Amino acid sequence: MEYFTPFEDPSVMIFRDGFDTQEKLVSFSKFFGEFYHDYNKYSEDKPWLFCLANEAAKKFVGDGKSNDNIGGYWHTDYGFLLAPPKYTIIRCVMIPPIGGETSLLDLISAYKDLSDEMKNLLDPLWTIRDWKNDGRNIVRKDISHPLVMTHPTLNKKHLYFSYRHLKMNFQDKIGNELVEFLKNHVTQEKYIYTHKWKPNDLIIWDNRCTMKKVHFDFDPS
């Protein structure tokens, strides 16, 4: 089984063609701690599984809830929680003939490349996870997180926010300009890895320092 990390730090690990069953996925995932019980749970007996599939694919992957077009923008997973799960782990079951890639974004390198002046400006700031921009009519309280965190294992600073939901804890011209600056800065190609899936691939990434985006550039049938 081939595996590699696309970034300088091991915030993302890619495993090629080594996870052909759900049991292997679950066994591997147990090494990383207790499971988070997802609000879009796959089934009552497996609340920690989340089935990412459109209606056309649902009959092939199971009867769990389907999720059309979820995650088609840059985001950190579960940022609506005060203490989000550390990791997301995805196994590929089936793919469309064209499209459907997943892109991952390195928030450690994005912070490291900032000027010292910008780091000093951003380090004490907090952001608000603004759910009015979610687009799914989900009612949740806005959650605040530090904009800059220090990774507890890697001991490196990184940015932490979700692209669509980003709002500063002060709303004025400077705050709005900072939001636009951050969005443009982190989405430079040098910080992004795009994975072209094959069946039985597995990706694990660190939610604390990684954003992701799903590409819905495929025929939904």
Per-residue pLDDT tens for 51-107?
777 655 555 555 444 455 567 788 888 887 888 889 999 999 888 888 889 999 999
Predicted pLDDT at 101:
92
Q: Are 49 and 31 in contact (CB under 8 A)?
A: no
Tokens of 145: 């997180």
Class of domain 2-214: alpha beta
Q: Give domain limits for the chain.
A: 2-214
Q: Distance between CA 73 and CA 165 in Å, rounded?
A: 10
Mean pLDDT of 135-140: 54
Q: Are 102 and 88 in contact (CB under 8 A)?
A: no
Of 96-110, 115-129, 132-146, the least confident: 132-146
Residue 114 has pLDDT above 90, yes or no: yes
Positive or negative, the Cα torsion across 120, 126, 130, 134? Answer: positive
b or e along 131-164 (b: 16 or more beta carbons within 10 Å of the residue's beta carbon)? beebeeeeeeeebebebbbebeeeebbbbbbbbb
Mean pLDDT of 27-52: 76
Of 21-30, 77-86, 133-142, the least confident: 133-142
CB-CB neighbours of 181 under 10 Å: 13
- DSSP string for residues in 134-183: SSS------EEEESEEE-TTT--EEE---TTTEEESS-SHHHHHHHHHHH
